Structure 1
Amino acid sequence: MARGKEYIKKMNEYINSVLTGEREAGRLEIKTVERHVNDLKYAMEKGIFWDERAAMKALEFFSLLRHYKGKWAGAEFVLEGWQCFVVASIFGWKKAGGVRRFNVGYLEVSRKNGKTQLAAAIGLIMLLVDGEFGAEVYSAAVDKDQASICWSAAGAMIQQSPVLRKRTLVSKKSIVVENTMSVFKAFSRDTNNKDGFNPSCGICDEVHAWTTFDIYDVIESGMGARTQPLIFMTTTAGLNLSLPCYDKRRVYIEILDGIKEQDDTFILIFSLDEKDDWKNSETWTKACPNLGVSVNMDYMERRLKAAMNDPSKEVEFKTKNLNLWVDAPTVWISDEVIMGNNHGTLDDSLLGEECYGGLDLASTGDINALALFFPGLEHNPVKMFFWIPEAKMIEKEDKVNYRVWVDQGYITTTLGNIIDTEFLKEDIELILRRYDVKNLSYDPFLAANGVIQHLGDRGYYDVMDELPQRITTLSQPTKELQRMLLSRSMDLMNNPVLRWMFRNVFIYTDPNLNIRIDKKRSSEKVDGCAALVNAVAGYMSRTLADKSSQMYKSHGLRTIKL
């Protein structure tokens, strides 16, 4: 195991360089290395142990692998220190009975650092040398094309290796090891035949783009009969912080920080730290461990110049090359701020309380939203209601999983391809009767579906106000909403639909610094945010009117309604 010993030495040098500061490492990378060192120290107390021979065996396998494209095609797959650390950690840590400790691995690193090839190699280890008879390895992603990338990389490396070619049969759809009856396939939501599904390994690629983790759950639930299965996830940073990968990442960071405990999960995140200057090349190794190896400094500097010259390329450079989860350049309120506006208000505490409503009515096939704003309660709670036709939940053209939000009660559906306006009228009326609604503001341009007329007929004309969606009428309430959010003085009641919509908002600013939500230029749906602006506008208007009325009365005058 000459190569394996060499790689163990290389891994230890990497660990030492991180701990001593010789390597410019990010906070989360340091946390992972410290976790490894502490586990070595307290292994017996934790019921785990370090099996260096098992780590060496996995590392030795890489001497059989060859690169398959570019200038390295045909050359041996030589691991860098951080890659040795990943492979050795996954296969070297054991628990009672000698089975592997880690059943889940999460690697987040910037583009061009060889994560897909590394993941494919780990899949081949699980296929060929793990000692699992009837192994089933799957390269998984949201669609067939993405799922086939990692699987194709595995097949290409086999074709470049004389030893592995003799042991496997590579076809258009599978890699088979006949003597152990093992198989490696691509797997996605589109895969039809899941009968007898019994995975021993799932390689989940670019999970930042996964709209749901349904595929992950299918793989995990199918592993029940395996003694030491492995799910290995790889990704770069993404833009949509409402997708499940970012929530998973939050949990993983809490594990690294010691807030939560999960001994069966390996986590390694390469990323710049919060206060780092992304334009400073000295920080780039934090996100790009292969800088100077598979990633050229000239390439990075060219990408930086492109980002500096063209703001539209800045976000791509930050996410793909520096592995930063960042807001789109048009984002209004950051996700961190939105999540800071959740204070635990309970639904029952809102019943019968004074509030101000904002309606955002839509076309018959889109989202209708109602926001209720409770300014008299602590933290200014906001209760949201959303309606969509059932067909919109099924089509998923908005790239979010409406079904989950429907099941959780955050969205109501009506039967058919278009919204059932009769149902919508009745439902909104029931909601308004449940609360003490002082005002309901709405866009008169979208009031032709009968909802406003229905509410008026039921006695709500006195509390309803038209609110033309002009920048002069929307600017002040939009700024007031912004002020409350930035000061963390609202409670959005952990509404995931509203959180997603805030991520999509594009703000238009005119020469006089008036602002409004620009629906046409926003990246996705923002109806809930628009409804909330309308609610705040109604509150500001009614409050101002009440103050004016009190002022007139105090001077012995009376107001005249025109």
Structure 2
Amino acid sequence: MGKRGPGAGRMKAAAVGAPVEQATWEGTLFAGDAPPPPATASLPWEQEGMPPAEQVLAFLRDLPIVSGLRAGEKLELIEFQERFVRNVYEPEDDAGGRRVRLAGLSVARGNGKSALLAGLSLAHLLGPMQEPYGECYAAALDREQAGVLYRMTRAYIETVPWMAARVNVRDWHKQIEDERTRSIWTALTSDARKAHGLAPSFWIADEVAQWRSRDLWDNLKTGMAKRRNALGVTISTQARDDFHFWSQILDAHPSPSFYTQLHAAPRDCRLDDQRAWMAANPALGEFLNLAEFADSASLAMQSPSFEPSFRNLNLNQRVDGEAAFLNPVDWEANGTPFDPAELEGQRCYGGLDLSSTRDLTALALWFPDSGKLLVWHFVPEDTMRERSERDRVPYDQWAASGWIDTTPGRATDRQAIVQRLAEIRSSYDVQAIAFDKWRYEDLQKLLSDEGIELPMVEFIPGFKSYAPAIDTFERAVLGKRMQHNNSPILKWQAGNVIVTPDPAGNRKPMKNKSFDRIDGIVAAIMACGVAGTDEGPEIYRGEGLMWL
């Protein structure tokens, strides 16, 4: 197959100096040209008996640095990179094949992730791990990120003559073909449809913490079954929470076929702790500039809005890069287990957040005297699976563990909510339950038909009602008086909440701006709101109802 496309000319020029047996133009569009002059240098990974890990390390160390002040010098691996390569490529199974089939490395931004990924992919396309008709894929969030990997890989090839002599580059498709083995290197975006039917011999996934879906990752993984020694490598900073599939991968029980390596700062570290810097940034002081990093840390200490991003990207902590309402450390401090039975008969206040089609219905009870919180979530049983796939959280597992009440059908059964309200009326000293009148009419009729009387208080979802409610809720969280019994669904929602201020500084939670579902937290905030105004002048009595 002849060299063609926008990259062909560059590769022809770059091939000068390649070993003559690999640089002939016979059978290509340049067949009439004189071959590049011969070179006698042997390839350092071709020594007889060299183990696979040593071969890959030798290949990587022979690659040139392609940009910056040290451009043209050989790549130098530092300890954490070498350790990763050895732990991936050294283990063998009983048949002498590859034991590690999946590998994950999580490290802060700026620690050479893209260069390592590109180098490993070339080791499988052109280097010691090559195989006939191999398929190497580089998966990224979008075309821009995929382009970074592609340009890095192409830059290596362009600066190594023997590589340039072997490949055919198609810039438009971000694809590289080895004309000797007929192996291909292809960039993919996280659109999983493109991965169906592939049989990867090697694949890399870059910055999966930013991926909304794991479908592409799963499709590449399952495609490996078509190869005997396939390998998949994922390198990324940490995701923002425990529920992202990348977090689940890092937290999974160790497996001989799956190697993971995590470099992260302690969760509660100070921003000026240099030991924490080093824990997440093993390249600090090597090719990651220490002075510039210190400047970023100083900015994060002075700017609360920048701190979450710095902790996530530069300290590799599971913190959302945007400013969330609740600090996960403060929320987890309220996780002391308790027996809900001990709350029977106690004074409490409720919040009821009725769902739209996509949201959850949540009913919260806050017990201010003991600082305890109970929340019930209602999910239609027939939508459980699609909700789990859409929201990327295990609703089915939460339901099995009792954290979710399932209702029959595809829409939340209001009768189930009525039944739960009847139960709490008989079990607790309910002072008031705040509700948003939107979608409340049907529920009100059911309550009336069942003869259930409850002190329902209309909660108008504006800044005026939410501002004192959020203040009460926040004080309770900081004072460890929002004990949530380690509810996993509330933990997920607590990390999703974004609040927006008005010009006067009043705050309200914004479902349309929050990262994901927040219904249980909203219900708890409503409960705090009605508790804070129970005897105040803003409560008025109507016909069986009150309103805020």
Q: Does TM-score exceed 0.5, indicating one fold? A: yes
Determine the C-alpha separation between the residues in 1 that align with 2:95 and 2:82: 25
1:462 alignment partner, SS class: coil
Determine the C-alpha separation between the residues in 2 that align with 1:428 and 1:301: 53
Provide the identity percentage: 23
Is the 2:243–2:392 Cα contact (8 Å) retained in structure 1? no
Match of 1:250 in 2: 251
1:509-548 superposed Cα distances (whole Å, 9 cap, x missing partner):
99xxx99754389743533201123346668999x99xxx
Match of 1:298 in 2: 291
* 1:114 to 1:64, Cα distance in 2 relative to 1, 3 A: same
Match of 2:77 in 1: 79
Determine the C-alpha separation between the residues in 1 that align with 2:63 and 2:260: 25
**Matching of residues 412-427 of structure 1 within 5 Å:** 425=414
Q: Is 1:105 aligned to residue 119 of structure 2?
A: no
**Matching of residues 401-440 of structure 1 within 5 Å:** 401-402=390-391, 425=414, 428-429=417-418, 432=421, 439=430
Match of 1:384 in 2: 377
Determine the C-alpha separation between the residues in 2 that align with 1:63 and 1:470: 59
Determine the C-alpha separation between the residues in 2 that align with 1:92 and 1:413: 51
2:218 alignment partner, SS class: helix
Match of 2:522 in 1: 530
1:98-127 superposed Cα distances (whole Å, 9 cap, x missing partner):
112211211112222211110111111122
Matched pairs, number: 470
TM (norm. structure 1) is 0.69
Give the C-alpha shift of residue 306 in structure 1: 2.5
Determine the C-alpha separation between the residues in 2 that align with 1:277 and 1:474: 27
Is the 1:353–1:436 Cα contact (8 Å) retained in structure 2? no
Match of 1:130 in 2: 129
Give the C-alpha shift of residue 180 in structure 1: 2.1
Match of 1:9 in 2: none
Is the 1:342–1:493 Cα contact (8 Å) retained in structure 2? no
Match of 1:162 in 2: 161
**Matching of residues 144-543 of structure 1 within 5 Å:** 144-172=143-171, 173=173, 174-190=175-191, 192-194=193-195, 196-251=197-252, 260-274=253-267, 276-281=269-274, 283-326=276-319, 329-334=323-328, 337-338=331-332, 341=335, 357-361=350-354, 367=359, 369-373=361-365, 381-385=374-378, 401-402=390-391, 425=414, 428-429=417-418, 432=421, 439=430, 441-444=433-436, 446-447=437-438, 450-451=441-442, 453-458=444-449, 459-467=451-459, 469-472=465-468, 475-476=471-472, 479-480=475-476, 483=479, 489-491=483-485, 493-495=487-489, 498-506=490-498, 518-519=509-510, 523-524=514-515, 525-535=517-527
1:48-82 superposed Cα distances (whole Å, 9 cap, x missing partner):
xxx96222211221254223333344433232233
* 1:384 to 1:372, Cα distance in 2 relative to 1, 3 A: same
2:145 alignment partner, SS class: helix
Determine the C-alpha separation between the residues in 1 that align with 2:532 and 2:77: 62
Give the C-alpha shift of residue 137 in structure 1: 1.3
1:272 alignment partner, SS class: coil
Give the C-alpha shift of residue 234 in structure 1: 0.7
* 1:539 to 1:427, Cα distance in 2 relative to 1, 3 A: same
* 1:160 to 1:494, Cα distance in 2 relative to 1, 3 A: same
Give the C-alpha shift of residue 218 in structure 1: 1.0
Letter in 2 for 1:450: E
Letter in 2 for 1:385: F
2:64 maps to which of 63, 66, 85: 66
Give the C-alpha shift of residue 307 in structure 1: 2.3
1:69 alignment partner, SS class: coil
Give the C-alpha shift of residue 191 in structure 1: 5.6
**Matching of residues 111-122 of structure 1 within 5 Å:** 111-122=109-120
* 1:223 to 1:433, Cα distance in 2 relative to 1, 3 A: farther
TM (norm. structure 2) is 0.70
Is the 1:455–1:461 Cα contact (8 Å) retained in structure 2? no
Letter in 1 for 2:302: N
Deviates more, 1:161-170 or 1:299-308: 299-308
Determine the C-alpha separation between the residues in 1 that align with 2:121 and 2:481: 45
Determine the C-alpha separation between the residues in 2 that align with 1:131 and 1:332: 49
1:26-56 superposed Cα distances (whole Å, 9 cap, x missing partner):
xxxxxxxxxxxxxxxxxxxxxxxxx962222
* 1:371 to 1:248, Cα distance in 2 relative to 1, 3 A: farther
Determine the C-alpha separation between the residues in 1 that align with 2:248 and 2:161: 43
1:308 alignment partner, SS class: helix
Is the 1:368–1:387 Cα contact (8 Å) retained in structure 2? no
Is the 2:46–2:55 Cα contact (8 Å) retained in structure 1? no
Determine the C-alpha separation between the residues in 1 that align with 2:275 and 2:486: 39
Is the 1:339–1:494 Cα contact (8 Å) retained in structure 2? no
